[in-house]
Chains A and B, each alone.
Chain A
């Protein structure tokens, strides 16, 4: 079963705009991670935020985590056509030994 649920399912924006994706999950976690997947390829790790962190930055990426609401958001600033991909959140539940992925958000950046 998939613990994380991303919102929206699909997002289409113009190059240069910001893109925000949200993830909700169900159980207590050790950390939450975001991955990107280009069509037909494997997933690439983007950023990890631990349960005791509230915000993290990496380049054009900003991730927030609200453990009280069991939700996270990924912000991509100044988007580029190369950012076109599917984005998945994955949770590392405190009781588990594996990452559980959501269904993903498909991002399309138009140039």
Chain B
């Protein structure tokens, strides 16, 4: 168990540029979540995948945001035409959920990608 890995740890970009973050979950985990966290706040849900299927997206996820999880392994989160309001910590988490179950057991978080949009 090597834990959830996120890259890069920090990203500084200029407004209007595109950025892409990567998340490698714990290998046997079938669920993968993206959250966004701003200073002094708790994580806010963005989207989640069950294997390779993206099953829910928050209204926070505008058309400029897209997430993928090809082959149900790693995931990428892309932000196009970044805005200063996108500056935040982007957190990835994974979990193992029984196929027949609907409850969420504990999440394993990565260390996050801190995005600064200048």
Residues of A within 8 A of B (CB): 2, 4, 30-31, 33, 35, 40-45, 48, 88, 90, 92, 97-104
Contact = CB atoms under 8 A, between A and B. Distances in A.
Contacts of B102: 30, 97
Contacts, number: 65
Contacts of A103: 40-42
- 3 tightest CB-CB pairs across the interface, nearest first? A42-B109, A101-B42, A45-B106
Interface of B: 4, 6, 33, 35, 40-45, 48, 55-56, 91, 93, 102-112, 114
Contacts of B108: 45
Given A98-B45, A103-B40, A42 B112 contact: yes
B28 to A, nearest CB: 17
B111 A92 contact: no
